[in-house]
Amino acid sequence: MTDEPFETSEEIHHDRREHGGMPLRPDDDELARRTEQERVAAGVDDYDPDDVPPATDAPAPDDVTDTEEYREEEAEIKRQEEEGELYPLTDRHPFPPSHYDKS
C-alpha cells in the first residue's frame, strides 16, 4: 500500500546526498506541474493547460479588409445599395428588406 493519496505513474528518485526532508534546491517547475496534476485529479480544474496541444488552425490575417472574401462582400453591398435593395432605416422604411431580388 502506498502513502500517496493518488496513484502516480512516475517514479520519484530522491537524491541520497540530501536529508529526507525538504530538498535544498526545490524544483519550482516540477512543483507547479505536480500541483496542476493534483488539481485536475481532485476535480478543481477541468484540464491541465500544459497538456493541451497547440492550435493547428492558420492564424487570422492582420487586416481582414485585405482579403478576397471581404472585397467580394463589399462589392455585393455596393451593388445592393445602387439597385435600391439596401437602404438606411428611416421613418418611411423602419425595417430592413424582407427579401432581396437575386435575378
Q: pLDDT tens digits, the chain, 103 residues: what are they?
A: 455 555 655 666 666 666 666 666 778 888 888 888 898 889 888 888 888 887 777 777 688 888 899 999 999 999 988 888 887 778 877 777 666 666 5
Residues 37 and 59: their CA atoms lie apart, in Å, by: 30
pLDDT score at 66: 86
